[in-house]
Structure 1
Amino acid sequence: MRNSESSPSMHGTTILAVRKGGVICLAGDGQVSLGPTIVKGDARKVRRLEVGGHAALAGFAGATADAFTLLERLEAKLEQSPGQLRRAAVELAKDWRTDRYLRRLEAMLIVADENETLLLTGQGDVLAPEGGATAIGSGGNFALAAARALMDSERSAEEIARRAMAIAAEICVYTNGRLTVETLISASEAP
């Protein structure tokens, strides 16, 4: 549902990526809200993508149908450029920015593979965040601040992501504690 004066706006989602010790962890809450009403508590906003023998993770915030359209397009770009996440992301961002249909999509994506984490927006941005953590969505800033505060601890990437998401859920009314968590281990770190 699009924002307008006649309909309530859709809010929700916190997606957090934490990269530490050769592991990337992507976590997303499950809440979808329509105005002041929670309409779903267990949505899956984080996905594992397996394309051409290469694994990547993707998490989305924004309009669900729009995000699924973007995820399908990202998978197609990854099929064209197996193992080249950045190239696929840049190609998706170009399409997103220039295609009349795609320009109207209201979503943001975090995508990651064993080597890098990228943030994609409808303005054509493909950003490689610094500091080992990045977040999007209603509670994204809360989760990001908590994750950054925990990065120097002995906690693993997944432990940091889970704790930061719990903190975000305590602060943001559009974020819940029902998480989907996916991890990838860098090939150089695999046993």
Structure 2
Amino acid sequence: MFHATTIVAVKKGEKVAIAGDGQVTFSQNMIMKQNAKKVRKVYNGKVLVGFAGSVADAITLCEKFEEKLEQNSGNLQKSVVELAKEWRQDKILRRLEALMIVANSEHLFVVSGSGEVVEPDDNIAAIGSGGPYALAAARALVQNTNLEPAEIAKKALEIAASICIYTNNNITVLEL
């Protein structure tokens, strides 16, 4: 598990949102930065990406993912599968320690370096040290409210930040 961040994504219909906290923890005992941006829009603003793990590794993987999107004309499903295969098979990439959530208006995936590409049944995903808390909160909010995905993602991350010491309330929310 990555002790450095929390990312949560929620998809309802064609609307999707991703949220990330801003805390960067160094050596598991010191906060180095409180307002990092760990979520971004890529592929001309049509795809959302959030990452957890080593910052340099996560940025490298995000760049690789953007290359795959370009090569596959924005086909998200094909791009994540190709990224996972390369990530697992490449001698350098397989050492990268990170997880990613990627989403567009059609799909939401969690991608890992061990080759997993998971499309959650309930269109809710969370990664990072506060991921389990954010996931539980997002599921409860989806099942018991009529909130939009962006509101759910933000509230779920706020709940995670109140529990997880590696997650803060400097939240960035992006939506499609």
Q: Specify if TM > 0.5.
A: yes
Deviation at 1:83, TM superposition (A): 2.4
Cα displacement (A) at 1:11: 2.7
Q: Deviations over 1:25-59 (max 9, x none)?
A: 000000011221111000100010025xx710000
Task: Give the Cα–Cα distance (whole angstroms) in 2 for the partners of residues 128 and 140 of structure 1.
Answer: 16
TM-score, length basis structure 2: 0.95
Map residues 54-69 of structure 1 onto 2, 5 A cutoff. 55-69=46-60
Give the alignment partner of residue 78 of structure 2, picking from 83, 87, 96.
87
Q: What TM-score do you get using the length of structure 1 for normalisation?
A: 0.88
Give percent identity, aligned residues only. 51
Which of 1 and 2 has greater Rg? 1
Residue in 2 that maps onto 1:36 = 29
**What residue in structure 1 maps to residue 38 of structure 2?**
45
| In structure 2, distance between residues paired with 1:56 and 1:21 | 15
Deviation at 1:154, TM superposition (A): 1.3
Query: 2:141 is aligned with what amino acid?
Result: L
Q: Which residue of 10, 13, 17 maps to 2:9?
A: 17
Separation of aligned partners in 2, 1:102 and 1:71:
12
Amino acid corresponding to residue 156 of structure 2 in structure 1: A
Match of 1:131 in 2: 122
Aligned to 2:92: 101
SS of the residue 2:82 aligns to: helix
Superposition RMSD on alpha carbons, in Å? Answer: 1.2
Residue type matched to 2:52 in 1? A
Q: Secondary structure at the match of 2:109?
A: strand
| Count of residues in correspondence between the two structures | 173
* Long gaps (5+) in structure 2: none
